[in-house]
Amino acid sequence: MNSPRIGLRASCVVGFDGTRHVLWREGEVVLEGDRVAFVGRGYPGPVARWIDYGNALVSPGLIDLDALGDLDSTVLCLDNGDERAMGRLWSAEYLARGPRESYRFDEEVFKYRYAFTQLIRNGITTALPITSMYYREWAETYEEFAAVAGVAAELGLRTYLGPCYMSGMQYLDANGQLREHWDETRGLAGLDAAERFFRDFDGRHGGLIRGALLPDRIQTCTPALLERTVALSRELDAPVRLHCCQGRDEVALVKRLRGAAPLAWLERLGLLGPRALLPHGIHIEGEDDLARLADSGASLVHCPVVFARDGESLDSFGRYRARGINLALGTDTWPADLIDNMRQGLNIARIREGGSDRTRALDYYNAATLGGARALGRDDLGRLAPGAKADIAVFSLDGLHLGPLFDPLKNLILAGRGDDCIASWIDGRCVMENGQVKGVDYPSLQRQAQRQFQRLMESHAERAPGRPDWRRLFQPAIPYADAWGAEHPLVTRAGNPERQHENTPC
């Protein structure tokens, strides 16, 4: 039997004419099952139910290809001095004792529930998550991701999943110098687990869950691991995401170990190609690397906010785009807000380019929709057109912070934020309504996240040289007023319900 048609109306609808996004004023989108049946105005057929979102922008759902799956640790590192002294990296003594998990199994799964809820809340309908391996005993596991797939399906988020795997980890020796620890056997076993997950879960839950191959970072992978990844990707037609060209130390290490710069080495291995998704591309070898990216069809996953926090940026978005490189977007940090990444990315690009001619607001919106879909090899995502998947984000245009409206997309990118998203439809199912992700108790979610974040902070002491008291590792932006604050940092009402008070009216 055919599914009943559901119609969505709003003051603005972003449609797709087969080539580009187009704007419909007082537009309509009609859904039939998991697909879009109509985009435009004046749908002539029967509709079981109409939903009028009023003054809102109905957009294709956003695609985040480096979506944070963690409780974000960026806040711990920000303005806190050298990460090497605070347990962000492994110390030699920690490695000798034997690394351990910072979280229990259930806590590992919970961090994805928390992160996936945040993604949906910000209008992201397709995500390829990323987490840090510094907090792990080694890498991710099949059992963990079997549970994560269940969380994604329950919430209704379209995800590309697979356990991350690696052959090595960098650590700090007694002199504070970076060294490499290798375990090839463990890396290949991780790839075997990733293959098993792909074969078991790719296409599950009506296609909402798809598989991907996710080696950790270029500097933590051996040639054997990446060669087998390439072969498996071709056999399974699986996307491969590999972080590379994201730091000067990484580039220098790859040159020393592999005898070539990162992209030249990946080209030699056969990894560059249309199934390759490469965050972040900050440090590349000039025009030769641009040509490698463009000619191979690989996609660069651009995450402007997380790098801007450390004073780095892509040079530049407009330059890469002009060379024909496919650009997608990722968040890779808190908040899970692609609108913020579009805005900051646009401003950064224009500073790097010395003007406003080479990069437009639309270029970033295209990267968050059509570019992400192209990176995944999907012509049914990132657009609203008949036959496309019914993945939709609805952004309210009523916010006072948006100012007077002229162009809804420009207003949203220049002044909006992810939580302007009031409704989300994924695969034809309404997963968020009036800003509430269905089935999620926000206060309970936040309390659990705060309790778990405490465990994360305490784990830093295990990795830091000398195993200092964890309370001494993190410095607040404003100094504590007394000794009590230093002894009891970050005790909040969110994390300690007994200290919560009723709100007092102003």
Instruction: For residue 135, give both structure tokens.
Output: 């907090």
> Which residues does residue 301 pair with via DSSP β-bridges, in sequence order?
328
Count the neighbouring beta carbons within 10 Å of the beta carbon of residue 43: 17
Stretch among 273-277, 438-442, 490-494 having the lowest mean pLDDT = 490-494
- Domain limits for position 1: 1-61+383-436
Cis previous bond, 280, omega within 30: yes
Say if residues 262 and 243 touch (Cβ distance below 8 Å). Answer: no
5, part of any domain: yes
Work out the angle between the directed axes of helices 105-121 and 142-155 (0-180°, nearest 10): 30
Say if residues 107 and 469 touch (Cβ distance below 8 Å). Answer: no
163, part of any domain: no
123, part of any domain: no
Please report which helix (H) or strand (E) contains residue 425, including its range. Answer: strand 421-426
d(CA 123, CA 342): 13
Q: Is 228 left (phi over 0), alpha (psi -120 to 50) or beta?
A: alpha
pLDDT at 191: 98
46, part of any domain: yes
Query: What mean pLDDT comes out for the span 89-107?
Result: 95
pLDDT at 497: 43
> Which residues 6+ apart lie within 8 Å of 99 measured at CB?
90, 136, 137, 138, 169
Reported confidence tier of residue 492, pLDDT bands at 50, 70, 90:
low
Composition of the chain by helix, strand, coil, percent to 5: 40, 20, 40
355, part of any domain: no
Reported confidence tier of residue 190, pLDDT bands at 50, 70, 90:
very high
pLDDT at 500: 46
Single pTM value for the model: 0.96
Cis previous bond, 102, omega within 30: no
Cα 218 to chain centroid, rounded: 18
d(CA 334, CA 328): 18
> Does position 496 have pLDDT exceeding 70, yes or no?
no
d(CA 288, CA 5): 51
281, part of any domain: no
Closest CA to 301 of 242, 382, 253: 242
| pLDDT tens per residue, range 268-289 | 999 999 999 999 999 998 999 9
Closest CA to 447 of 500, 488, 489: 500
Closest CA to 351 of 327, 326, 316, 300: 316
pLDDT at 490: 61
Domain count, the chain: 1
Locus of tokens 């559901």? 6
135, part of any domain: no
Stretch among 112-121, 123-132, 263-272, 478-487 having the lowest mean pLDDT = 478-487
The CATH number given to whatever domain includes residue 22 is 2.30.40.10
Query: What mean pLDDT comes out for the span 465-482?
Result: 88
Reported confidence tier of residue 472, pLDDT bands at 50, 70, 90:
confident
18, part of any domain: yes
d(CA 313, CA 174): 32
| pLDDT tens per residue, range 213-234 | 999 999 999 999 999 999 999 9
What secondary structure, in 3-state letters, does 349-373 show? HHHHHCCCCCCCHHHHHHHHHHHHH
pLDDT at 502: 47
Q: What is the mean pLDDT of the chain?
A: 94
pLDDT at 505: 43
Reported confidence tier of residue 498, pLDDT bands at 50, 70, 90:
very low
| pLDDT tens per residue, range 315-365 | 999 999 999 999 999 999 999 999 999 999 999 999 999 999 999 999 999
What secondary structure, in 3-state letters, does 189-256 show? HHHHHHHHHHHHHCCCCCCCEEECECECEHHHCCHHHHHHHHHHHHHHCCCEECEECCCHHHHHHHHH
Instruction: For residue 501, give both structure tokens.
Output: 């008070």
> Does position 85 have pLDDT exceeding 90, yes or no?
no
Say if residues 131 and 164 touch (Cβ distance below 8 Å). Answer: yes
